[in-house]
Amino acid sequence: MKINDIIAPKAPKWESHRTEGEVIGPCKTRKDIGALCQKLGCNKRGVELGVAKGSFTFQVHKYFDQFWSIDSWCDERHDTKQYERFKRKIVRKKITNINVVRSDFNTVVKTFDDHFFDFIYIDGYAKAHHQLRLNLNNWFIKLTPGGIFSGHDWQYPHVQEIINELASDKKLNLNVTGERHYGSSGRINTEGPTWWFKT
């Protein structure tokens, strides 16, 4: 099945005001990527790097047999309290396919076999130059051939530069979701687009 043959599910109406960017590929918003993984059969094991309160994890885990949520929860914005709230919410919702791992990305990556994940989503420190490059280098090998490699913060020019380099080096076709780059105030939108590749 070719990627261009797939029609992404329609985004909810309440979300349409946020999708004013240019969409490249079949996914209008990042929520659509989970459904795409399921449709392509890339849904055995998924992982999100950088979970915070778990918004994206709770949106996409249902499309996967098993889903890993990895974060260090060790700074002022994302701390132990947020980590504990996230775990309690999983228990309250009786979710059984989310595996919570509290660790930094550079350490925990060594615990997974190569080609272990069908879907990798880089969210934490996605716009930090050095850490983004480290995450790309360390985690790409953990993706199974034919899987989906993706991440947040496409709205930042330096992220676009780094991801375009990856696309060129790996000969991958870039896809981008359509969340807008800037908010109504003209400031950059922290809930901006997602970049992704099918390998």
Indicate whether 4 belongs to any domain: no
pLDDT of residue 14: 28
Contacts 24+ apart (CB under 8 A), 80-86: 82/52, 82/53, 85/53, 86/51, 86/53, 86/54
For residue 74, count other CB atoms closer than 10 A to its CB: 12
Alpha-carbon span 77 to 144, nearest angstrom: 32
The conformation of residue 2, written as its DSSP 8-state character, comes to -
Residue 5 lies in a domain: no
The predicted pLDDT at position 19 comes to 45
Give the per-residue pLDDT at 17. 35
13, part of any domain:
no
Report the pLDDT value the prediction gives residue 126, as an integer from 0 to 100: 72
Which CATH number fits the domain that encloses residue 41?
A: 3.40.50.150
**pLDDT at site 75:** 86
Question: Nearest CA to 126 among 35, 172, 192, 198?
Answer: 192
Its domain, for residue 166, covers: 18-198
Q: What is the pLDDT of residue 18?
A: 42
Residue 137 inside a domain? The answer is yes
Q: What is the pLDDT of residue 3?
A: 44
Domain membership flag for residue 113: yes
3, part of any domain? no
pTM for the full predicted model:
0.87
For 96-154, give the DSSP string.
-SEEEEES-HHHHGGGS-TT-EEEEEE-TTTT-HHHHHHHHHHHGGGEEEEEEEEES-T
Q: Domain tally for the chain? A: 1
Residue 13's pLDDT is what? 33
The pLDDT of residue 8: 39
Q: What average pLDDT values come out for the chain (199 residues) when binned by 10 residues?
A: 42 37 87 95 97 95 98 92 97 98 96 98 84 95 97 90 96 92 64 92
Question: What integer pLDDT is reported at residue 92 of this predicted model?
Answer: 97
Cα 19 vs. chain centroid, distance in angstroms?
17
In a domain, 9, yes or no: no
Give the position of tokens 């003209």. Answer: 186
Q: Is residue 107 in a domain?
A: yes
